[in-house]
Amino acid sequence: MTAPVPPSSVPAATASTPAKSPPSSAKSPAADLVQATAALVSFPSVSRQESAIAALVAGELSEHPWLEVTRVGDNVVARTVLGREKRLLVAGHLDTVPPAGNDTARIEDDAVWGVGACDMKGGVAVILDLAATCEEPTVDVTWCLYAREELTRAENGLGELWASRPDLLRADAAVLCEPTDARVEAGCQGTLRAEIHLGGVRAHTARPFAGRNAIHRLGPLLERLSSWKGRTVELDGCAYVEQLQAVFVSGGVAGNVVPDEAVLTVNHRFAPDRDVATAAEEATRALTEGLLEEELEDRVVLVDGADGAPPELGHPLLAALVERSGYPPRAKLGWTDVATMWAHGIPATNFGPGDPLLAHHPSEHVRRASLERVREVLGALVTSTW
C-alpha cells in the first residue's frame, strides 16, 4: 500500500484520467495481500467518512496507464478500454461499520484482524492488486470501489453512480467481492424493516388498572417472533432461509406513567421469489393477526425495503467463475448490491475473501488463503481465452 494521496491531488469529482496504451514491460508483481489488507484496515473509512480512502485508491489506480480512472464523489471507477467483446464489472465497497475496539489492524496466524478486514477491505485489496497486474485482460474490466454500502439504499454509492454516471457501470456481468470465503454465493435475499405501533391508555403506575400498558402489549408479538419459522426456498439449487428479527423497541412516558404507545421494529430477510410488498404482507399477518386494535390506533408502518435477486449464473462469465471456484454455488443469506445490478439488467453474483459469518463481528478477520484464492480465481477469469 502506498502512502495516502492528499485529496487535493486527486481529480475533481466526475473528472476522468484517459486510458493510455499499456507499457511493453512485464506486469507488476502481485502484492502481499495480507500486508495490503492490513494497510487498508488501518486506514479508517467508516460510512460517510470515505473521502480519504477514495483519494488513496484513486491515486493508486491512476498510476496504471492502461486504466481510465474516474472519481465521482467518494466512488472510484477504473476501466480498461480495449474493445473486447465482453465487459466484466468487479465491485467492492470502501466503507466499514464503526469499529468495536478493532480499528487498528493486526496480523496474526497468517490472517488480518480488524474492522472491515472481512467486509470488505480484503476484497478491496484483491481488486487493487488485479487492477495493477492485469494489463491486458481478455475481457474489458471495470473495477468499481464505492462508498456508503453499509447504510441505507438511499445513500449507497453504487446507486449514486447509477443515477449520475450509468455509462461507467454498464457491463455484461458483475462480481461483487462481498465476503463468501472464496465460494460463489448466488443472488441475495430481500430485506425490509417495519414498525409495529401499539397503543395504550395513560394512567398512574400506582393505579395501572385505570389505563392500558402499551409496552405490556408487546409480549404476544415477541413470543410470536421468538417462535417464528421462516420458509426455506430453493432456487437453482441454492437454499434461501428466511429470517425475522426484532431490532428496536421504544416506548415510555415517565417513570410513574403507564405508557400509551410502544413501537417494535422488525427486520425481515426474505427469499428472492417475493418482492417487498408481498413479504411485508405475509410477515405482518403472521406476527399481528388478532393482536391489532383499531380503537387504539394500532398500525404497521413499512420503513424501508429492497427486493432481492435470484441466482443468475447462466451468463458464460459467471458460469466460468463457478467452475473455477471449485465448489457448487450456494445462496447469499443477506442483501447485497447484486440486487442493484440485477435491477439494472446485469447478471451478478457474490465472490470474495473472508468468512461472511465474521462480517461486523468484533473478531473480524480474513485469512491469507482466502485472499489468495480469490485473486487466483478472478485473475484467471479475466485473462482466460473467450
- Burial of 52 from C-beta contacts in 10 A (0-12 / 13-18 / 19+): middle
Residue 274 has pLDDT above 70, yes or no: yes
Q: Given this model, what pLDDT does residue 244 score?
A: 96
Residues facing residue 231 across a β-bridge: none
Q: How far apart are CA 287 and CA 318, in angstroms?
A: 39
For 301-318, b/e burial (b = at least 16 CB within 10 A) is eeeebbbbbbbbbebebb
The pLDDT score that the predictor gives to residue 29 is: 63
One-letter-per-residue 3-state SS of 264-291 = EEEEEEECCCCCHHHHHHHHHHHHHCCC
> What pLDDT sits at residue 28?
56
The mean pLDDT value for 242-264 works out to: 97
pLDDT at 271 over 80: yes
pLDDT tens across 319-334, in order? 999 999 999 999 999 9
Q: What is the mean pLDDT of residues 370-382?
A: 97
pLDDT per position as a tens digit, 81-94 = 999 999 999 999 99
Report the distance separating Cα 144 and Cα 177, nearest Å. 10
Q: State how far the Cα of 35 lies from the Cα of 276, in Å rounded to an integer.
A: 41
Hey, which residues are catalytic here? 95, 149
Whole-prediction pTM: 0.85
How many percent of the chain have pLDDT more than 70? 92
Task: Copy the grid coordinates of residue 153.
Answer: 439504499
What pLDDT is recorded for position 384? 87
Q: What is the pLDDT of residue 385?
A: 76
Per-residue pLDDT band for 299 (boundaries 50, 70, 90) equals very high
Contacts of 28 (CB under 8 A, 6+ apart): 132, 133
Taking all residues of the chain, what is their mean pLDDT, rounded to a whole number? Answer: 91
pLDDT of residue 152: 84
Average pLDDT score over residue span 237-261: 96
What confidence score (pLDDT) does residue 330 get? 96
Residue 22: pLDDT band with limits 50, 70, 90: very low
Q: What percent of the chain has pLDDT over 90?
A: 89
Q: Which residue has the cell 409496552?
A: 215
CB 156 within 8 A of CB 306: no
Q: How confident is the model at residue 104 (pLDDT cuts 50, 70, 90)?
A: very high
pLDDT digits (tens, 9 = 90+) for 152-190: 888 999 999 999 999 999 999 999 999 999 999 999 999
pLDDT at position 260: 98
How many whole angstroms separate alpha carbon 303 and alpha carbon 355? Answer: 30
273/141 Cα distance (integer angstroms): 31
Q: Let me know if 295 is exposed, middle or buried by CB neighbors in 10 A (0-12, 13-18, 19+).
A: exposed
Domains along the chain with CATH numbers? 7-187+309-383 (3.40.630.10), 190-306 (3.30.70.360)
pLDDT tens for 114-151 read 999 999 999 999 999 999 999 999 999 999 999 999 99
